[in-house]
Structures are given as C-alpha cells and as structure tokens.
Amino acid sequence: MTTRLEAYMTEHAHQVSDRIGPGSVSVTRTGQRTFEGMNERGSTVLIGPAEAEGHFTPGELLKLALAGCAGMSADRVAARRLGDDFAMTVWAHGTSDSDNRYSRVDEELLLDLSSLDEAERAKLIEVMVKAIDRSCTVARSVHGSIDLETTIDGTPV
C-alpha cells in the first residue's frame, strides 16, 4: 500500500483488505445507496443512483469503462498518424432494458480525420478497430453479453 493510500484510508471509512493489490478496487458506503469507489492507488469516484448529484451510476461506470478502454486502445495508433496532440472524444450511449440489463451499447469515437484522403482515413479506421478489438479488455470481457456497436468519425465499423 502506498503512503497516499494509507493517508486517504485513515481519513475515510475505507477498510483495508489483506488481499489488496494490482487490480483491486473497493466501494465504501457513504450514505443511503451511495458509495465511494477507490482503486489501490487511492483514486476515487462517487457512485450512486441517478438522483445523487455528483455521483456516477454503476451503468454509467460500465459505459465509461467501455469508452475509456476504446479510447486508450485506439490512442497510440491514431497518434502515430495524426500526431500526439490530436483531439478525440469517445461516447458510449445506451440504457438498460426492461429486464434491468444492458443488451446494447453504442460507442462513438469522435475525431477529425478530414486531413486524410479517403484511403488513409479508411486504413486508420481499420487499424483503430483492430487495436480496440485486440487491446480493449473491457469490450473483450462483455463481448457476447452486450451488443457493442462502434462508430469512428461517423463511420460504423
């Protein structure tokens, strides 16, 4: 455990597991249906129902994990072609079904590929899709459970 994490846990209600290590996360109850999530490095996020201001719902966190993973997976290959300072926003759209599960999430990677000719654009999108398919642990984990549709720069892939 790091000093920062020890200090944080001393200040807050987080109890320490003897199994904490790389990949460990926790949630500690902060109120009725509200929690504070924390990773082993001491980073935190507020989790709760949609009506809890300043909190993410668990479903929003799932979609953030998908969007963040897709963005991180595609980032290196896009930066090689577009430069390190390119802008990209990744959205994940979807709501739970009547049976209280996510059966579909649509990912949308928004970035400006207008400086590329059509062949270069198509090639970059292809390489980005391969990078996401190969490297996005979250998408690979939900594959088969959630229909995950991806669009890059307006192109369904």
Is the pLDDT reported for residue 112 higher than 60? yes
The mean pLDDT value of the chain amounts to: 93
Q: What tens digit of pLDDT does each residue of 32-54 get?
A: 999 999 998 889 999 999 999 99
pLDDT bin (cut points 50, 70, 90) of residue 18 is confident
Is the pLDDT reported for residue 130 higher than 90? yes
The pLDDT value recorded for residue 9 is 63
Sheet holding 25-31, edge to edge: 25-31, 34-39, 44-47
How far apart are the C-alpha atoms of 59 and 67, rounded to whole Å?
A: 12
The pLDDT value recorded for residue 83 is 97
How far apart are the C-alpha atoms of 8 and 61, rounded to whole Å?
A: 22
Show the 3-state SS of 140-152.
HHHECCEEEEEEE
The pLDDT value recorded for residue 40 is 87
Report which of 111, 99, 109, 93 is spatially closest to residue 147, judged by C-alpha positions. 93
How far apart are the C-alpha atoms of 24 and 112, rounded to whole Å?
A: 36
Region 72-95: mean pLDDT is: 98
Region 117-126: mean pLDDT is: 98
Is the pLDDT reported for residue 104 higher than 80? yes
The pLDDT value recorded for residue 1 is 52
- Name the β-bridge partners of 88: 111
The pLDDT value recorded for residue 17 is 82
